[in-house]
Amino acid sequence: MLILRTILTVIFIVVSIALLIVVLMQEGKSAGLGAISGAAETYWGKAKGRSMEGVLMKITKALAVAFMILAAVLNISKF
């Protein structure tokens, strides 16, 4: 049981660092001033899911879910 807990803790640390890096790589919501003039409706605005920002958002969601699940599992195993 101790080996499994150690492995899960290492995975938890890796997921935490990856989540931090991915969040820091994202642009802020106020970074694009083109939204004021209506430039958000360009090709990249419509295909946001396939852009780099869309990929980063998907990775962030997956890492956040993994972070929460690992935190819960590691907390339950203390009892």
The residue among 34 and 75 whose pLDDT is bigger is 75
Mean pLDDT of 26-40: 62
What pLDDT score does 37 carry? 55
pLDDT, tens only, 64-76? 999 999 999 999 9
CB atoms within 10 A of CB 62: 14
pLDDT score for 67:
97
Half-sphere exposure of 6 (CA within 13 A, CB side): 3
Q: pLDDT tens-digit profile of 47-65?
A: 566 788 889 999 999 999 9
Give the span between the Cα atoms of 60 and 64, in whole angstroms. Answer: 6
The dihedrals phi and psi of 32, each to the nearest 5 degrees, come to -95, 100
Per the CB < 8 A criterion, the answer to whether 17 and 70 are in contact is no
Domain ranges of the chain: 1-8+48-79
Contact by Cβ (8 Å): 60, 23: yes
